[in-house]
Structure formats: C-alpha cells, structure tokens
C-alpha cells in the first residue's frame, strides 16, 4: 500500500512538472510567433498570439498546431490607391492546422477565419467629402457616417444651394456589402437636395462609394461586411495563410 502511495505521489509530481513545462513552452512559442509575424508584416505593435490545445508539446513534436488565434490592433491595410492605407482598429483571425518549421521562421495555416473592424470615421475618409456640384448651383458632400440599425449605414449628406447660401443636411440609409474585394456602400434611396430634380447618377456620385482593402496579413481576403454600432465589421477568410516565412 505504501509503495502504491509513493507511485501515485511520483505520478502527480511528474504530471505537474509536465504541465508546467508545457505551459512554459507554449508561452515561449507564442512570443516567437508574435515576433516573426511582426517582422513579416512590418507591424508597429506586437500582435497577440494564443496557441490553443493541450498538451502543446505533443503538437510541437508533430510539427503542427491545431488552433492559433492572432490579434492585431491598429493595422494599416493597403487600399490600392497611391500608397494610401485604411486603419483597421482590430483584426482577429483563427488559424487552423498551422504547420511550422523548428525555429518558427515559417508557418502556414490550412485555413483562417476572422473579423476586421473599421470605424465610421475611418471609412468616411473614402467617401466624397469635398463639395461636388450635383446640379447647377447645388453642391453636395458626405459629412457623416453612423449606424443606421438593421445592418444599414446612415449616410449624412450636406447640400448647399449656392444662389441662396442655404445649407441642408439630409440622411439616407445605405446597404453595405463586399464586391470584388471592396467594401461597397450603396444608398437604398436618394436624398432630396434643393427644389429641382437631380439626376440619380449625379447624386450617387456622392452617396455611393467603394473602399478596397488589400494585403491583409498572410494573404487573407475580405468576405462579408456588416454595419455595427461603432463601425463596420468585416468577415475575413483564407487558405494556405502564411504567418511567417
């Protein structure tokens, strides 16, 4: 009986040491992956890396991780417009089946899904905010974007009748979608500016706009988009996503 007790104590101690060694190893690996990702993507801040699953050491021995979560704040995504970028407040991605080299110099995920959040203030920069003539004597511009409820964006348009010096601000609800790797905002109905009729095409030059979002980490692509309280939330996905190397 005493021998059995001793064996049980030894097993518990060894098990505890294994758990400690496993957690130390996973934290070291997370730090290495984060550093490599920061270097590869030229990030200004170190991303958060969370390697899921237990035990880690058995995954390490197999050269593949089941599940890795990545979190990046303040990511500047390319827009394909003369080197201009658009700021993504928060980018989260869940990587599945991550194969890596022994020194973590290269790592590739079989699949990745996640979300990217862009504020309305940032998205407003892509709209036509400079006064534009939509009809003789009538200038218009987008002056605000906000949550319109039910997955819509509220677009505030300011119109000015030059001859009278009168300004009016009207709002329209717009649908937001992803078209050809671009976030597209399209007015459901058109605002009435001034007393005269204005051609639809002229008004839509103001109310409707698109924003490309290119070169996301690892080559992931935007998939869907939805309006939320503080901005738009974009679903992203990809396959054979390179985290490093």
- Token pair, residue 231, equals 């901005």
Task: Please report which confidence band the pLDDT of residue 14 belongs to, taking 50, 70 and 90 as the band edges.
Answer: very low
Residue 197 is inside which H or E element, if any?
none
pLDDT for 193 equals 63
- Token pair, residue 169, equals 């601000």
How far is 80 from 4, CA to CA, in rounded Å? 69
Kindly state the average pLDDT of the residues 79-85.
76
Q: What percent of the chain has pLDDT over 90?
A: 22
- Token pair, residue 122, equals 């940032």
Question: How does pLDDT run across 160-196, given as a tens digit for each residue?
Answer: 776 666 777 888 899 999 998 889 999 888 777 655 5
Q: Is the pLDDT of residue 23 over 70?
A: yes
Q: Is the pLDDT of residue 198 over 80?
A: no
How far is 167 from 187, CA to CA, in rounded Å? 21
Computed over every residue of the chain, the mean pLDDT equals 80
More confident residue, 97 or 102: 97
Residue 210 is inside which H or E element, if any?
strand 209-212
């Amino acid at each position: 009986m005493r021998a059995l007790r001793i064996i049980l104590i030894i097993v518990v101690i060894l098990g505890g040491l294994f758990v400690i060694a496993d957690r130390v190893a996973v934290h070291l690996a997370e730090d290495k992956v984060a550093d490599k990702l920061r270097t590869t993507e030229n990030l200004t801040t170190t991303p958060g890396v969370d390697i899921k699953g237990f035990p880690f050491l058995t995954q390490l021995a197999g050269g593949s991780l089941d599940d890795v979560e990545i979190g990046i704040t303040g990511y500047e995504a390319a827009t394909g417009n003369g080197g201009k970028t658009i700021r993504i407040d928060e980018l989260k991605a869940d990587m599945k089946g991550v194969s890596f080299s022994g020194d973590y110099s290269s790592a590739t995920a079989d699949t990745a899904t996640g979300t990217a959040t862009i504020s309305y203030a940032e998205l407003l920069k892509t709209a036509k905010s400079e006064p534009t003539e939509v009809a003789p004597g009538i200038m218009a511009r987008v002056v605000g974007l906000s949550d319109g409820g039910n997955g819509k964006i509220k677009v505030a348009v300011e119109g000015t009748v030059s001859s009278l010096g009168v300004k009016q601000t009207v709002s329209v609800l717009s649908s937001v979608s992803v078209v050809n790797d671009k976030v597209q905002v399209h007015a459901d109905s058109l605002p009435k500016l001034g007393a005269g009729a204005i051609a639809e095409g002229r008004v839509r030059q103001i109310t409707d706009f698109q924003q490309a979002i290119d070169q996301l980490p690892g080559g992931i692509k935007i998939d869907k988009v939805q309006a939320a309280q503080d901005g738009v939330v974009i679903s992203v996905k990809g396959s054979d996503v390179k985290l490093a190397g």
